Amino acid sequence: MNKIYSLPLILILFISSAYAHEDRILSIQPDGSIPEIPVAFGPVALKISGLGNPAPTVQFSSGTHRNNLPICVTRYIHTQQMKDVFVSGSWYHNESVLPYYVDVEFYEPGYVQGHPYNSSFKILFNLRTAQVIKLQRFVADPSGNGGQYRDVVLPKGCALSEHAA
């Protein structure tokens, strides 16, 4: 009897693991290029400057598409150093659920590497169009036992689409 129940369970686990994926950790070279992304997307780069200033600059490009984030977005970035920027992405999942993307996480001052929960500002870029898919802030619980994602609502007049080409 156990064998009858085991086969469907094994089949379900195998199928679900085939659909599951983890983001791939990416690196940013000194020129901003991200070498781990397949060449089929064209050159992909993330250029960040002015960290530690009230409004750093962020430019994401993928192939022929470029997105210069406006100050009304970059003012949410409080990261002080490039070592506190974490980049990951996915281009091997079902795009009907979520477009292929690059996820950029800007950790807040006080970031502790290896700590499971750190406050951050996250930008999810579409890998095919360079447009912003989502902006979120993760607010870590002071106890260190979790936190909460919050969507970022941009001020009136702050248009992301004007800056993507």
Task: Check residue 15 and give its pLDDT.
Answer: 43
Within 8 A by CB and 6+ apart from 64, the residues are: 42
What is the rounded average pLDDT for all residues in the chain? 87
Name the more confident of 21 and 7. 21
Task: Check residue 144 and give its pLDDT.
Answer: 74
How many degrees, rounded to 5, is the angle at CA 41 between CA 37 and CA 45?
60
Q: Is the pLDDT score of 18 beyond 60?
A: no
Closest by CA position to 147, among listed 119, 108, 124: 119
